[in-house]
Each structure stands twice: as C-alpha cells, then as structure tokens.
Structure 1
Amino acid sequence: MEELTVEHGGISLAASYSPAGEAAIVALHGAGEGTRDAELYGHLHELLPPAGIGVATFDRRGEGESTGDASRGRFDVQVEDALAVIDAIDAQRVGLWGISQGGWIGPLAAAASDAVAFLVLIASTGVTPAEQMMYAVEKQLRLAGYGDDVVARALELRRRFEDWVHTRAPEPDEQLAAELWAGIDEPWWGQVWLPPTLLDEEGLRLWVEEMDFDPRPVFARVRVPTLLFYGEADSWTPVEPSVEAWRTARGDDVEIVVIPEAEHDLTLPDGSLAPEYTNRLVDWVVRRAG
C-alpha cells in the first residue's frame, strides 16, 4: 500500500492507495468517522486489488492527517477533495464508492466531472438530510428501547427546531432554547442530533446548506454506470423512498440491490458483511471497470 499526499487548494489530504491494474475506486466517507484507516474500508483493500482494481482511501479534510477546516457537512468541499484524489492516483478509470453521506457526494461528483467513471453507493438516501434524520431518530430511539412518549417528544423537538430555522431565525425563541438546553440532561439526547443551543448566523447557514440538500435533481444528472446497495433493515436511511428516488431519476439505468436483514452498513444480524454485497461488488466493478 502506498501513502500519498494530495495537495490542492492550499490543503493537504493524506491518502492510502493500493494500486492494481488500470482501474481503481476512491472511497468516500459517511457522516461519521472520516479517516482512511476506518474499519469500514478494510474489505475494499482486501477484495478489490486481488481482482485488479486499485483502492484509495483518504482522511477527510480537517481530520486525521489531512489539513484544512473540518468539512463533514460541506458537500461542495467534499466533492472537490474526492476529485482531487481521483486526479492524484495512477489509474485510467476511477470510480467512487460511497456510503450514507458518501451516497450523496458520489452523485454530486459524477454530475460535476467526467473524471468519475462509475459509482458504487451504499444507503444513498433519496430524501433530504432533514427528512432522513426524522426517520433515523425514531428508529434509533426505538432500537435503544425508548417508548412512544420519548419518540414523540424527540421528533417534535426536531420539528420545532427546523421550523425555527426556516421561519423565525435568527430571532431567538426562548422556549425552544430552554428545551434544547434541558434536553442535554435526558438519557436519549445523544440520539436526537440537535445542537444544545440556538444557532448563530454562520451555524444557520451551515445547517441549511446541509440539512436542506435535495439529492433527487442530482441523481437525475448522473450519467455513469451506478450500482446501489441498500440494507432492508436500515435504521438510518428510509429504503423505499430512496429506491423510488433513484428509479424516478434514472429508471432502469441503475442496478439496485436490496439485501434482506442487512443494516445501514450492509452487516447482517451476526455482524458479518452480507456475502451478496461483497460478491456483487467485486463482480460488478470488474465488469464495469476492469
């Protein structure tokens, strides 16, 4: 495995690259861990290079050994960085592999640049992040064992926060602010994904930029071969609306696989990666890019 430093736009991205043949994939990040050695990427380095497909992973801007300001919710910046990594590796055909938030970054990059040869996306959500989080909060709370009263309170708090963002901000809402602050002491607060205080103007701008992103017009602009995986038991991404969004945008031009019993990351109840995913991943990428 080669260690690379990708310089662009005044920042440095730390990357690891397993070269193999003339084709490769660059792995994109979800909204969580943003380093190139995340366990999530291990199967890519294990499975694809022996099949003749190189794999590049990199530390997200502002994380790990990459410099620059943190870019977790800044989709345009993540697209720029993904394209810079594509440009830096020695391969003739390079595609993007993305999971969750990466399932938005990949289509954005493919719509913006001919450098993207194909897409492999896991849990590419077909609704806005704000809509996704309403689904995810309910699912995560119920999985954690909370009842209807807590779920209703949490979802109502998110609705009121979004309403404040879009109708009254930056004017303060003292009652909402008090409820947010009080929420910190609740055992379920960490599964609601709201700030503990009202946002300032910069925070509002970043919140709207991320949470109001509509992926559906972007899906319609993708013109490269695309393979989509969803876990039927996904507790973060609403599967049916996401499949419908891609079918509406691209019809039968995309291949969609829904894996029974699989979670958001395509793991099965026993914790293993679904064999249907790993087998189809290798076969499809080799056929499309090898």
Structure 2
Amino acid sequence: MLAALVAALVALVSSPALADESKPPALPADLVAGEVSFQGSGGLTLHGSVVSQASPKPGRPGRPGVVLVHGAGTGTPREKLLGEAVAFARQGMSVLIYDKRSEGYSLFTRSYSQLADDALGAVGALRSQPGVDPAKVGIWGLSEGGWVAPIAASRSQDIAFTIVVGANALYPLRQQTWAVAAGLRKAGVAGSLVDQAEPKLYRVIADGGMFPEPYFDPEPVIASVRQPVLGIWGVHDLLTPPRETPPIFAAALAKGGNQKYTFRYFADADHAAHRTPDSGVTRLPELAPGYAELVGSWVGEVTAGRAPAAQVTGPAPVQAEDSIGVPPAEWWESAWTQLAALVLFLVAFGGYPVVAVIRRVRRQGGPPPVKVARAVSAGGLAVVFGAFSYLFYLVMTGGKLAVPGPLVGDRPAIWLALQAFTVVTVVCTVLTALRRGRASARGERVRIGLLVTGGAVLVPWALYWGLLLP
C-alpha cells in the first residue's frame, strides 16, 4: 500500500525516459560541439556532446578537458548542464556533457557505482578527442554527482582533477531529510510535522526499499581520492547542508593524506552555484560571478603541475538548522509494521460503513447506528489516509520549494485539521467503547469492538507520527 501511494505520486512528477539520441545543443557562435557516443556501465551506449572554443587560443595545443556529471534525475538531458559547459569552454577547456541513463535508474532504484562507471566511459571518450590533452582531463559533479565523481576519481588514474558543486559528505537519507525539513522551515513551518512526521516517513520509505542508496557513506570514498579537488558551494544552498559538509569533506581528504584541495563559497548563489535573488529559492540561469573563472584558472594551475595547498575561502554559508541522523527503522516502526497498521485501520474503520451499506442493499434490518461510532469510522479514515497523502505530497514537492499550504501561525492548516480529527476520533473511540454494551446483537458487538480496536491502535500510531503532539 505504501508503494502504491508513492507510485501514484511519482507518476505525476517523474520524467519520461529519453530516447537513445538527442540533437546537438545550440551554441553561441564562438563555440562548437562534436557528438560522441561511449559505453557506460553494463555496456549501455550513452550519447553526448563535446563543447569547445571554435578558435582555440594560440599556444594551447593540448586543451584541458572536463566531464560534467548530472545531479539527481532520471534520464536528464545533456542540455541541463549546457550553461556550465558554455562557461567552462570559454575558459579554454573541452567540456563533455551527456544524456544521463534511464535504464537502471529511477526514483526507487539507482547505483552510484554504476553512474561512476558511466562517467568513466565519458572520461575515456573525452581523452580521445582531437585537441584534448589526455593527461589533463578531469571530472565535475553536481549534487548527486558530488557522490558519483569521487567514486570515479578513486577508480581511475586517468582523471587529473575532481570538481564538486553542492556536494554532500553526508549519507543521502540524512541529506534528504534535512533538505525537506529546511524547506518546510523556510516556508515558516514548525512543530511535530517537521520534527516527527517528516524524518519518520523517510525512515519508513527507506526501510521499504523505496529510497535508493539511503546509507551510502561518502567519507571512505572521499578519503581515497588522490587527485586535486575543487569544492564549490553556494552560500544559500537549500539542498546540501552548506556549513556541515565542507569540514567533513576536508577531514575525509586529510584522512587519506590529500591536502590538495580548494574550497570556495559563493555569495548570492544556490545549490548549483547559480545566482539566486531570494536566498536560494529561485535559480537564475547565470552562474555565480567568478565561478567559471575560478574553474578555468584552477584547472590551468592543476594541470600545469601546480597543485593547490588546502584552503577554504568565501563568505560564511547560511544554514539555520543542523542535519540530524536518520537511523534505520526498528521493527515496530518498519515499513511492514506500518503496512499492517494501515490494513488494520482500513478493516476497522472502513468495515463499519461497509457493513451498513451491505445491510441497506440487502434490505436487512439492524440496530440503530451509534453516532459516535460513525465519527470514529469517518475520522479514523480521514486521519490515516489524509496524513499519509499529505506527507507524501510534502516529500514529492519538498526541499527548497516546499509548499505546505496555508499556515495558522507556524502550523499548516491541513496538519492542524488532521490533528483535530485525530483528537475527535480518540474521544469518540472512548465514547463508543462505553456504549458498546448497549449493542444487543453479537454481530453488532463484534463490529463495534473492531472499530474500538482500531481507535485504540490509532493512539500510539498518532503519537509516533506527531498527530497528537504539538
């Protein structure tokens, strides 16, 4: 049932898989693109474009090259990174952008190792391009690519340098729960929805196998990277904890003996180091001022054999709340336990009106309905399925663009309504239990008893999800 609810929402937001090939990107007159194909993980053929200056600067017979690795998204087209490709190409590099795989990658299934092998295939293709110095080819990864690029770099000595943008040194489940909670808080939300319900829903999703690579640990991978590293973060990153990640990243590099890194924060920049006019909510097409120039000069120094000493520069990042650990679910909060509770609620709360309808269709007589029992049935169904529908909606639209609906103070009106329904349902359950003895027929007592059981189980369930907490 959980999977069905998620799948229904995914169908509304998922992108269709791309065709095997797409048209070459449209470029400014000073740049040219050459089409390439290469083998990714498992022999999958991937397609891309190499963007370079139409008239390379004299004295550069062998240009540096860089492969751009996408952030999260199924079948993301190469054009998504065209802005970066254009900017970096104008710095004298050949830049390979490629269509991300759809095969073996979805909202529920993905492998960072597989994506790293795809990136290594792209590196091999770029190293063989005319005019590119194969000893000066590196890799760049955005967001999810910040997990992928270090894996690729740790596997190949053919990679000359590594650049990460908006990268995470946290495991994916922790990063995602922080991002959605940060988005809710930015929207003005506080209380049990943020503190209880949101992280617990992610634990259930991960326990049910619907969150890929939830506990992937990037630190050992980062520690195994030997190439020079350029790390870039926007001050207003709302998807990666910008204050927490760089120190962890630096410590992991140092643990592996790598002090050849440069970390830079950019003001008025978002998760992708693009300009943002409203503290990270809106992403403008333009890169942060100085970002492309930094990449160009840094790559030039590194590929000339002048590796940087460890340094961190730029304005302090904005991060209101720390991320919190998201441990694996205990048995009593597992996906299977939650599914069993949903089945119980469906039978207990849904059975009462179903029996009444059957009796009416068959024109069978029966005892007069107990009004409070009706309230338990209706309220219980509204609470359980309303809560999960609302939470899944927040998950699917979460992160920096969280839209919790109208607020009453710092609580979403929808969440307050669900909490009110929960209180009413619990009170009516007590009243129904007190009146159960008035039912004369044995079948009616069983029917009401099942309803009361559902209401009783609802109490700890609602406490767990924060529906009975402020």
Q: Same fold (TM over 0.5)?
A: yes
CA contact (8 A) 1:47 1:282 kept: no
Q: What amino acid is aligned across from residue 86 of structure 1 in structure 2? A: V
Q: Secondary structure at the match of 1:61?
A: coil
2:238 paired with 1:235: yes
**How much does 1:267 deviate?**
2.5
182, 195, 200: which one aligns with 1:139: 182
- Cα deviation code 1:117-155 (max 9, x no counterpart): 101110110110011012101112233444434323223
139, 160, 163: which one aligns with 1:96: 139
Partner in structure 1 of residue 69 of structure 2: 28
Q: Secondary structure at the match of 2:296?
A: helix
Instruction: Tell me how far apart the structure 2 counterparts of residues 43 and 24 of structure 1 sit (CA, whole Å).
Output: 16
- Give unmatched runs, 5+ long, in structure 1: 63-67, 166-198
2:292 paired with 1:278: yes
**How much does 1:115 deviate?**
1.5
Instruction: Tell me how far apart the structure 2 counterparts of residues 129 and 103 of structure 1 sit (CA, whole Å).
Output: 11
Q: Which segments of structure 1 move beyond 4 Å, counting only runs of 4 or more? A: none
Q: Superposed, which structure 2 residues align to 1:173-184 within 5 Å?
A: none
Instruction: Tell me how far apart the structure 2 counterparts of residues 5 and 17 of structure 1 sit (CA, whole Å).
Output: 10
Instruction: Tell me how far apart the structure 2 counterparts of residues 79 and 161 of structure 1 sit (CA, whole Å).
Output: 25
- Cα deviation code 1:39-85 (max 9, x no counterpart): xx2233322323321000011112xxxxx433673111111111111
2:109 paired with 1:76: no
Q: Secondary structure at the match of 1:24?
A: strand
Partner in structure 1 of residue 154 of structure 2: 111
Partner in structure 2 of residue 253 of structure 1: 260
Larger radius of gyration: 2
Q: What amino acid is aligned across from residue 71 of structure 2 in structure 1? A: G
CA contact (8 A) 2:91 2:292 kept: no
Instruction: Tell me how far apart the structure 2 counterparts of residues 12 and 96 of structure 1 sit (CA, whole Å).
Output: 19
Partner in structure 1 of residue 34 of structure 2: 2
Q: What amino acid is aligned across from residue 158 of structure 1 in structure 2? A: Y
Instruction: Tell me how far apart the structure 1 counterparts of residues 89 and 205 of structure 2 sit (CA, whole Å).
Output: 46
- Give unmatched runs, 5+ long, in structure 2: 1-32, 54-61, 278-283, 305-470
Taking a change above 3 Å as real, the CA distance of residues 50 and 276 of structure 1, as seen in their structure-2 partners, is: closer
CA contact (8 A) 2:268 2:288 kept: no
**How much does 1:260 deviate?**
2.9
**How much does 1:95 deviate?**
0.5
Instruction: Tell me how far apart the structure 1 counterparts of residues 90 and 246 of structure 2 sit (CA, whole Å).
Output: 31
2:92 paired with 1:52: yes
Instruction: Tell me how far apart the structure 2 counterparts of residues 259 and 268 of structure 1 sit (CA, whole Å).
Output: 9
Instruction: Tell me how far apart the structure 1 counterparts of residues 69 and 98 of structure 2 sit (CA, whole Å).
Output: 8
Q: Superposed, which structure 2 residues align to 1:156-171 within 5 Å?
A: 156-162=200-206, 165=207
Instruction: Tell me how far apart the structure 2 counterparts of residues 2 and 213 of structure 1 sit (CA, whole Å).
Output: 35
- Cα deviation code 1:241-274 (max 9, x no counterpart): 2111122122442111122332211123333421
Instruction: Tell me how far apart the structure 2 counterparts of residues 94 and 15 of structure 1 sit (CA, whole Å).
Output: 16
CA contact (8 A) 2:231 2:262 kept: yes
Partner in structure 1 of residue 46 of structure 2: 13
Partner in structure 1 of residue 164 of structure 2: 121
Instruction: Tell me how far apart the structure 2 counterparts of residues 261 and 139 of structure 1 sit (CA, whole Å).
Output: 18
Instruction: Tell me how far apart the structure 2 counterparts of residues 160 and 47 of structure 1 sit (CA, whole Å).
Output: 42
Instruction: Tell me how far apart the structure 2 counterparts of residues 269 and 80 of structure 1 sit (CA, whole Å).
Output: 33
Taking a change above 3 Å as real, the CA distance of residues 106 and 238 of structure 1, as seen in their structure-2 partners, is: same
CA contact (8 A) 2:171 2:215 kept: yes
Name the % identity.
29
State the Cα RMSD in Å: 2.2
Taking a change above 3 Å as real, the CA distance of residues 69 and 76 of structure 1, as seen in their structure-2 partners, is: same
TM-score scaled by structure 1? 0.76
Q: Secondary structure at the match of 1:106?
A: helix
Taking a change above 3 Å as real, the CA distance of residues 23 and 101 of structure 1, as seen in their structure-2 partners, is: same
Instruction: Tell me how far apart the structure 2 counterparts of residues 45 and 158 of structure 1 sit (CA, whole Å).
Output: 35
Instruction: Tell me how far apart the structure 2 counterparts of residues 161 and 83 of structure 1 sit (CA, whole Å).
Output: 31
Instruction: Tell me how far apart the structure 1 counterparts of residues 87 and 181 of structure 2 sit (CA, whole Å).
Output: 35
Instruction: Tell me how far apart the structure 1 counterparts of residues 91 and 293 of structure 2 sit (CA, whole Å).
Output: 12
Partner in structure 2 of residue 264 of structure 1: 271
CA contact (8 A) 1:23 1:289 kept: yes
Instruction: Tell me how far apart the structure 1 counterparts of residues 238 and 78 of structure 2 sit (CA, whole Å).
Output: 24
Using CA pairs under 8 Å that are at least 6 residues apart, name the structure with larger relative contact order, 1 or 2.
Answer: 1
TM-score scaled by structure 2? 0.48
Q: What amino acid is aligned across from residue 233 of structure 1 in structure 2? A: H
**What is the total number of aligned residue pairs between the two structures?**
242
CA contact (8 A) 1:51 1:286 kept: no
